[in-house]
Every structure is written in structure tokens, then in C-alpha cells.
């Protein structure tokens, strides 16, 4: 049996951290105490206006390639999960391919599933590797959510940040990704959205993120626990077999509530949201990379990745690292 196995990870955060107090200094009607108490977020990174998602993806990808001891030319599939691509088209993945100097004709495309995008992209890459059509996939989450934030809406602008994370996935006889599950329910479209579009050279509708925070919170905790049990069931494992839960880094309270619902000790959660905020599709590979580089995650451990995002979309992946 051919598995898809993570052979390298990388991540990138642009510029210096912007603290909660820095936001207050910029005139946002909020406080460090409110943000920390409700979300656990202490800082975020914001990209310069001339830096796109593919630029952040490039830095994270170079680090993942170096960690795997691979060259860009070894990559035969590129998938970027993003809801904030550099342009309408070409995709951020095609731009990343060019920036990496990959000239081997490898397919490159974006996946848009908002905060679940990385789990969607990882699942697609895994299935293409298992089919035998591809052997070395670069799977990236990259976002510049700062571009779609309304800085007059304190209920949302304090929550998000920019960043990228990447993994290199290779065909292997050794166990890698064990089980995946993806879901969506578009009837929740209005609870979390950026409803605007471009038409006739104009922005039509709002180009800013809008969210019903409490509705998102309740839905997130419910489906994250369900989808975690779903992948564990597929693999014939229990929650006690999981070494690390690496959830989408949205909010510390959602992370804690999900772990409690699953009966997982809080020490088994990888939480990096405090220093980068919610980076949407980038958050899982960012958290994974930081935990690998700090030595917390080691080879052979069982990891549970899971996310929920606008749509709603949600999903999980269970893997041997």
C-alpha cells in the first residue's frame, strides 16, 4: 500500500508581531484584556501591501523543502489552500510554482475552503499520491486576511493575521496519512463570509469579512468533535492513541472546548494562536511546523489535524508523523 507521508514542514510569518496594545494605539476600540480573555490572541503579523499570499507561501515552501532535503524540481504537484490569493487568476499555486522555479509541468491549483482549506488540500494530495499519479506534493496554506478585514469592526479585525505554512508530502511504504474526512454545509453561508465580488471593474457588495461570532463558535465546537471521532473510527483508533491535536488556530476557547468534548488532555493540544492570531488556511501547517521545529512533535507520533471554516466547511486528517 502506498501512503502519503509528511517529509518536511515549513512556515513563515511576515514582519514584526503587532500586539493587542499596538492595535489600541492604532485607534481600534479594544483592549489587550478583552482580546486575551475571549480569544487567547496576544499578537498577529500583517504583510506589507506589496506582499501576496504566494510570497508567504514561497518562504514557507523553501523551509519545508530544506527540511525534507528536497529540491523544487522534485515536486510533482502543488496545492495552495487560500481564500486571499494574489489575484483572481492565475492561482497562488501557479505563482508559487513560478517563484520556486519549477519548470517540470507539475499541476498547480488553489483550494478555497477558507479555514478548512489546508485539510482539504492535504486530503486531495494524499488521494493523488495513493492513486500512484503523483509522488511528491507541496501542500501549502497561505493567507493575507489583513486585506479583507474591516478595521472599523472590532469584533473581527482583532482576530486575524497573515502567514503561511507548508508540508512536503511523499509517497512512502511507511504509514503516513491514515484517515481523512471532509464536509461542507453551504446553508450556513451567511454566518461567516466575505460577500463581495468584482464585476464590471467594480467591487460589488462588501469586500470585508463578516461573522456572527457566537454562531461560529457553537458550530465549530460541535463539528470539530464529530469529525475527529469520524477519522479515529476510520483508522480503528481511540482518542487515547492521539499524541497531538493540531487544530485550526482560531481561538483558544474553541481549542479548549473541543479538547474537553473529545476527552483529550489540554497538554496534547498544539496551540500557537496566541502569537499569530487566526491565519485561516495557514494556521494548521504553521502550528505543525512550529511544534516540529521546537521538538515537541517527533517522528512516529500520531497527529490529529482538524479545522472548520466559512461555508461552512470542516474536516480532519489523522496521520503518523
The length of the chain in residues reads 321
Q: By CB under 6 A, tell whether 258 contacts ligand UT7.
A: no
Q: Please identify, using beta-carbon distances, which residue of 60 and 250 lies nearer to ligand UT7.
A: 250
Residues in binding contact with ligand UT7, number by CB under 6 A = 19
Q: What is the DSSP letter of 269?
A: B
| Helical (H) or strand (E) element with 233 | helix 213-235
Q: Which of residues 75-94 bind ligand UT7 (CB under 6 A)?
A: none
For residue 307, which of 143, 172, 153, 155 has the smallest C-alpha distance? 143
Per-residue three-class SS string for 28-88: CCCCHHHHHHHHCCCEECCCCCCCCHHHHHHHHHHHHHHHHCCCHHHCCEEEEECCCCCCC
Question: Could you tell me whether strands 136-144 and 77-81 are parallel, antiparallel, or unpaired per DSSP bridges?
Answer: parallel
CA 296, 250, 176, 140 torsion-angle sign: negative
Q: By CB under 6 A, tell whether 115 contacts ligand UT7.
A: yes
Q: By CB under 6 A, tell whether 188 contacts ligand UT7.
A: no
For residue 309, the minimal CB distance to ligand UT7 (Å) is 5
Q: By CB under 6 A, tell whether 251 contacts ligand UT7.
A: yes
Q: Which stretch binds ligand UT7 (CB under 6 A): 3-11, 87-95, 150-158, 176-184?
A: 150-158
Q: By CB under 6 A, tell whether 19 contacts ligand UT7.
A: no
Q: By CB under 6 A, tell whether 26 contacts ligand UT7.
A: no
Q: Which of 40, 141, 163, 309 binds ligand UT7 (CB under 6 A)?
A: 309
Angstrom distance (rounded) from CA 321 to CA 303: 7
157 is catalytic: no
Footprint on this chain of ligand UT7 (rule: CB under 6 A): 30, 34-35, 38-39, 115, 154-155, 158, 211, 213-214, 216-217, 250-251, 254, 278, 309
What residues act catalytically? Answer: 115, 248, 278
Amino acid at each position: 500500500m502506498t501512503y502519503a507521508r509528511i517529509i518536511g514542514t515549513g512556515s513563515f510569518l511576515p514582519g514584526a508581531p503587532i500586539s493587542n496594545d499596538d492595535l489600541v494605539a492604532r485607534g481600534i476600540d479594544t483592549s489587550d484584556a478583552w482580546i486575551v480573555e475571549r480569544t487567547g490572541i496576544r499578537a498577529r503579523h500583517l504583510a506589507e501591501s506589496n506582499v501576496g499570499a504566494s510570497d508567504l507561501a514561497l518562504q514557507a515552501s523553501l523551509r519545508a523543502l530544506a527540511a525534507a532535503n528536497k529540491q523544487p524540481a522534485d515536486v510533482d504537484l502543488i496545492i495552495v489552500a487560500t481564500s486571499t490569493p494574489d489575484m483572481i487568476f492565475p492561482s497562488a499555486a501557479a505563482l508559487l510554482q513560478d517563484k520556486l522555479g519549477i519548470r517540470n509541468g507539475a499541476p498547480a491549483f488553489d483550494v478555497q475552503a477558507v479555514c478548512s482549506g489546508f485539510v482539504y488540500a492535504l486530503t486531495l494530495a494524499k488521494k493523488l499520491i495513493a492513486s500512484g499519479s503523483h509522488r511528491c506534493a507541496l501542500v501549502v496554506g497561505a493567507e493575507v486576511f489583513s486585506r479583507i478585514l474591516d478595521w472599523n469592526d472590532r469584533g473581527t479585525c482583532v482576530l486575524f493575521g497573515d502567514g503561511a505554512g507548508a508540508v512536503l508530502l511523499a509517497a512512502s511504504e511507511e504509514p503516513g496519512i491514515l484517515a481523512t474526512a471532509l464536509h461542507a454545509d453551504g446553508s450556513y453561508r451567511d454566518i461567516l463570509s466575505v460577500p463581495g465580488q468584482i464585476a464590471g471593474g467594480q467591487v460589488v457588495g462588501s469586500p470585508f469579512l463578516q461573522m456572527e461570532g457566537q454562531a461560529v463558535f457553537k458550530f465549530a465546537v460541535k463539528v470539530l468533535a464529530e469529525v475527529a471521532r469520524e477519522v479515529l473510527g476510520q483508522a480503528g483508533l481511540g482518542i487515547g492513541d492521539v499524541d497531538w491535536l493540531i487544530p485550526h488556530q482560531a481561538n483558544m476557547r474553541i481549542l479548549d472546548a473541543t479538547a474537553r468534548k473529545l476527552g483529550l488532555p489540554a497538554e496534547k493540544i498544539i496551540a500557537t494562536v496566541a502569537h499569530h492570531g487566526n491565519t485561516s488556511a495557514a494556521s494548521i501547517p504553521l502550528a505543525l511546523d512550529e511544534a516540529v521545529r521546537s521538538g515537541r512533535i517527533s517522528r512516529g507520533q500520531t497527529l490529529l489535524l482538524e479545522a472548520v471554516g466559512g461555508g461552512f466547511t470542516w474536516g480532519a486528517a489523522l496521520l503518523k508523523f
